[in-house]
Structure 1
Amino acid sequence: MSDDGGFLSSQSSRELTEDDHEKLAKQTSISDFKRNKLEIDARKNWDKFYHRNKNNFFKDRNWSAEDLKMMCPDIDFEKEISYLEAGCGVGNMLFPLVAEIPNLKLFAFDFSDNAVKLLEERAKELELSVATSVVDLSIPSVSSPFEEQVDLATLIFVLSAIHPEKHQISAENVRKMIKIGGSVVVRDYGINDHAMIRFGREARISDRFYVRQDGTRAYYFDLNELSEVFEKSGFRCVRKEYLHRMTVNHQKGLKAPRIFVQARFIRES
């Protein structure tokens, strides 16, 4: 296991404790009716989330430039690069990134209208040009919503919000937005993450797929499973890892082992 920018990087997730197993055993599944309703209302629930929280919920990802350069050492970020924040939310990845790498040509989409509007407002305030679109990755599409394909895309905690049966469709849609030879960098929730263990009763939709109290959903990935999804869609995996971090709540004296998956894929066909 190696230290990687504040995270420990490895090829395996963590071993569950006896307490973890007991908590998982107490989790119960939601009804078929609620399961179907969550799928139907997925866009509405994220729209409500952004209407309620505006720009205030997620912090800007100020680690993004450093991490991208580490994940993509062969890319010359001094040159103009077309960059897409896929599932952009309010642009918590995009805005810190362009502040550090000003040569980026910016593209962004989300399936929440409210999120895209908030991003556009911030871009206007900062006098940044960003091509935007409202896109649902889980619906098959024949082409990219943008006039050109990009050199680099990121999917940061995006796929986990989509039903696992639609991950393959999502990867194929992303592929259409990236040039052959271009890259997509993915970071998302990993199997055995503390957040997965702490879900209570009537929160489990299916294996490793849960609903939060606000109706948004979260899936927890196995690293090889994530890689297979993109490889089936014409990508080659050049790096994949579990990221481990222990978060500490000093006030409550609690430690939470967080587990994420991270990978880089290059479009080959």
Structure 2
Amino acid sequence: MAAPRTVDGVEAENTEISLTLSNSSSEDTKRPQFGTRFLTDPRQVFQHNAWDNVEWTEEQEEAAKKKVSENNQPLPLEKQEEYNSRASEYWNEFYTIHENRFFKDRHWLFTEFPELAPQRNLNHESQPNNSAVDSSHQDGCEQKQCRDFAALSGDNCAFPGSSATYRILEVGCGVGNTVFPILKTNNDPGLFVYCCDFSSTAVELVKTNPEYDLNRCFAFVHDLSDVEASFPIPDGSLDVIVLIFVLSALHPDQMQASISRLAGLLKPGGVMLLRDYGRYDMAQLRFKKGRCLSENFYVRGDGTRVYFFTQDELHELFAEAGLEKVQNLVDRRLQVNRGKQLTMYRVWIQCKYRKPC
């Protein structure tokens, strides 16, 4: 399934400054902030393009809830089914129109997801609140992997990247906003990156990119919602799975089975990384009546769909798939258009969940 690139003209994942994330759970220790821009004087709001860790007032949250409730009038079932059955068609049209003109490197990628960077086995001091898998845990998992995969030899290893020592899969790769920064930044000779998308047009754009290297990468078409569809890699073979603004494009009824299927591809100790739309994000509040498919699930003007999550919903999906929480954070960001003197409140959720050894 393709990762949504725009919502009502707003490129959600093209933020080029470091992210600041706040944990909504009072039981968890608050994570040290990556961001440095905090709005202390409202009169200075237009001094920067974005402000970190923006707290909402009770009035603001109530207004958001009211707006969502007013627009919560689902389309007829036959119309919902049409958008579901024609999903691949809508995404192919999207990439045919836009091609790679909206490609942006995700500059926050390696700050938030050090698991994708060259130095994977970071020491504990460089991992506040276990934001990456600690080395002692990973060493134990690797020993178990050696035992579990001792039988994989000969013809059984004949899959793309079978000789790699560290394998990453991005689901919903689009035109390569995540894949190519990984390939350019991570020069680990044992690295192999898989990437798939619902849209055959998007995958073709990845394959024709000059940075695409068959020795280090394999792109393929895959429908995440089809849990019977096979992957070109065996179960238990991946170190990292990346889901960036992609799970939200699935029908809510398909999410659990899809996450559980992906969890089966992870090695013991492997991690699933997610960044997606949070409840009451500006994009959700901008939807007009007649665009709601079901509660918190909408269709855009181009036929592509988007869901807006809570942290608890995502935790339930990952936990049901047998994964353990490493991180589940909400990012509340105030973006500013200084030219038009406009403010935009964004809400995103970031998760890391690990497969037990």
Q: Normalization by structure 1: what TM-score?
A: 0.89
Q: Look up the match of 1:164.
A: 252
| Residues 1:176 and 1:127: Cα distance change in structure 2 (over 3 Å) | closer
Corresponding position: 1:214 with 2:309: no
Q: Which one-letter code corresponds to 1:227 in the other structure?
A: H
Q: Look up the match of 2:76.
A: 31
SS in structure 2 at match of 1:210: strand
From 91, 95, 102, give the equivalent of 2:180. 95
| Residues 1:179 and 1:142: Cα distance change in structure 2 (over 3 Å) | farther
Question: Equivalent residues in 2 for 1:63-102 (5 A)?
Answer: 63-69=108-114, 71-72=131-132, 74=134, 80-102=165-187
Question: Equivalent residues in 2 for 1:1-269 (5 A)?
Answer: 5-11=18-24, 14=56, 15=58, 16-17=60-61, 19-27=63-71, 28-69=73-114, 71-72=131-132, 74=134, 80-103=165-188, 104-122=191-209, 129-141=216-228, 144-147=231-234, 149-268=237-356
Shift of 1:74: 2.7
Aligned residues: 264
- Residue deviations 1:7-63, cap 9 Å, x none? 242317955445434533442432222111000011111111111111122422122
Shift of 1:226: 0.3
Shift of 1:111: 1.2
Shift of 1:228: 0.8
Say if 2:244 and 2:275, in contact at 8 Å, map to a contact too.
yes
| Residues 1:17 and 1:232: Cα distance change in structure 2 (over 3 Å) | closer
Shift of 1:215: 0.5
Q: Which runs of 5+ in 1 are unaligned?
A: none
SS in structure 1 at match of 2:89: helix
**In structure 2, C-alpha distance between the alignment counterparts of 1:218 and 1:230, rounded to whole Å:** 19
Say if 1:246 and 1:255, in contact at 8 Å, map to a contact too.
yes
Q: Which one-letter code corresponds to 2:354 in the other structure?
A: I
Say if 1:47 and 1:114, in contact at 8 Å, map to a contact too.
yes
- Residue deviations 1:191-211, cap 9 Å, x none? 111111111110111111011
Question: RMSD between aligned alpha carbons?
Answer: 2.5
Q: Normalization by structure 2: what TM-score?
A: 0.68
Say if 2:279 and 2:308, in contact at 8 Å, map to a contact too.
yes
**In structure 2, C-alpha distance between the alignment counterparts of 1:186 and 1:38, rounded to whole Å:** 24
Structure 1 or 2, whichever has the larger Rg, is 2
**In structure 2, C-alpha distance between the alignment counterparts of 1:226 and 1:159, rounded to whole Å:** 10
Single out whichever of 38-47 and 53-62 deviates more from structure 2. 53-62
| Residues 1:8 and 1:68: Cα distance change in structure 2 (over 3 Å) | closer
Q: Which one-letter code corresponds to 1:106 in the other structure?
A: V
- Residue deviations 1:64-119, cap 9 Å, x none? 1222116325369xx95211111111110111122221223111111111111111
| Residues 1:174 and 1:191: Cα distance change in structure 2 (over 3 Å) | same
Q: Which runs of 5+ in 2 are unaligned?
A: 1-16, 26-54, 115-126, 139-163
Shift of 1:251: 2.3
Single out whichever of 195-204 and 51-60 deviates more from structure 2. 51-60
Once the two structures are aligned, what percentage of the paired residues are identical? 34
**In structure 2, C-alpha distance between the alignment counterparts of 1:54 and 1:199, rounded to whole Å:** 25
